[in-house]
Homo-oligomer: A and B are copies of this chain.
Amino acid sequence: MNTLPERLKSQIAFILELDQLKSVQRRSILSHENRRENSAEHSWHVALMSMLLCELADEPVDASKVMLMLLIHDIVEIDAGDAYIYDEAANQGKYERELAAAQRIFGLLPPDQAGHYLSLWEEFELKATPEARFAASCDRFIPLLHNHASQGQSWKEHGISHAQVVKVNQPIQEGSTQLWEAAQCLIGEALKKGFLAKE
């Protein structure tokens, strides 16, 4: 490793650091295996989903940028952990913790790449552009799909109600009206089939 060019050494340090995201557990349960999903698998899944569904974005988007944004959006969880979206306490101070994580982790890269990826991560977090808004819609939609496919296993485990699911997922409409309509179909069906408690 010592004989590699300095720039490549920094890039490889970052690439090896990424391995840790495979050990960050989310609350979503896989649809084909009874275990929790990790954030690396999730990032792959949602990035690919965004490419397939980019035709549903309300505003024109650069689909490759959405995809890259989603590939990097959860890297901060290596330091900051995954805050369950229904856990309001865990979400207090989240942005500050994640920003510090982003600065440390992207800071492993050569300066030009560190700046580029840090700014892409901030764009996603601040939902500052059509790409960031659509990426955020995809990031909320996919756990709905998992919950629907697993008959609400994760919702049931955490005692999540219909009203909470509607409230947390409503921001899907900020990036895609059509995805929000689809989300409402899934939520309605989950309620009807008893995957989700009314109160």
Instruction: Write the residues of chain A forming the contact surface with B, with a CB cutoff of 8 angstroms.
Output: 1-4, 8, 11-12, 14-16, 18-20, 22-23, 30-33, 37-38, 40-41, 43-45, 47-49, 51-53, 56, 64, 67-68, 71-72, 109, 113, 142, 145-146, 148-149, 178, 182, 185-186, 189
> Is the CB–CB distance between A51 and B32 below 8 Å?
no
A1-B148, A64-B67, A109-B52 known; A22 vs B18 contact (CB < 8 Å): no
> Is the CB–CB distance between B12 and A23 below 8 Å?
no
> Is the CB–CB distance between A37 and B22 below 8 Å?
yes
Nearest CB in chain B to that of A48: its residue: B71
> Is the CB–CB distance between A113 and B52 below 8 Å?
yes
In the assembled complex, how far is the CB of residue A107 from the closest CB belonging to chain B, in whole angstroms? 14
Q: Cβ of A148: which chain B residues have Cβ within 8 Å of it?
A: 1
Q: Cβ of A186: which chain B residues have Cβ within 8 Å of it?
A: 1
Nearest CB in chain B to that of A65: its residue: B64
In the assembled complex, how far is the CB of residue A40 from the closest CB belonging to chain B, in whole angstroms? 5
In the assembled complex, how far is the CB of residue A70 from the closest CB belonging to chain B, in whole angstroms? 10
> Is the CB–CB distance between A14 and B52 below 8 Å?
yes
Q: Which 6 A-B pairs have the closest CB atoms?
A: A64-B64, A44-B44, A40-B41, A19-B31, A22-B41, A23-B33
A49-B15, A185-B4, A186-B1 known; A30 vs B41 contact (CB < 8 Å): no
> Is the CB–CB distance between A45 and B33 below 8 Å?
no
> Is the CB–CB distance between B48 and A20 below 8 Å?
no
Tell which of B18, B31, B44 touches A71, judged by Cβ atoms closer than 8 Å: B44
A4-B182, A23-B32, A32-B23 known; A11 vs B71 contact (CB < 8 Å): no
> Is the CB–CB distance between B23 and A19 below 8 Å?
no
Tell which of B12, B30, B43, B145 touches A15, judged by Cβ atoms closer than 8 Å: B145
> Is the CB–CB distance between B37 and A30 below 8 Å?
no
Nearest CB in chain B to that of A142: its residue: B15
> Is the CB–CB distance between B71 and A149 below 8 Å?
no
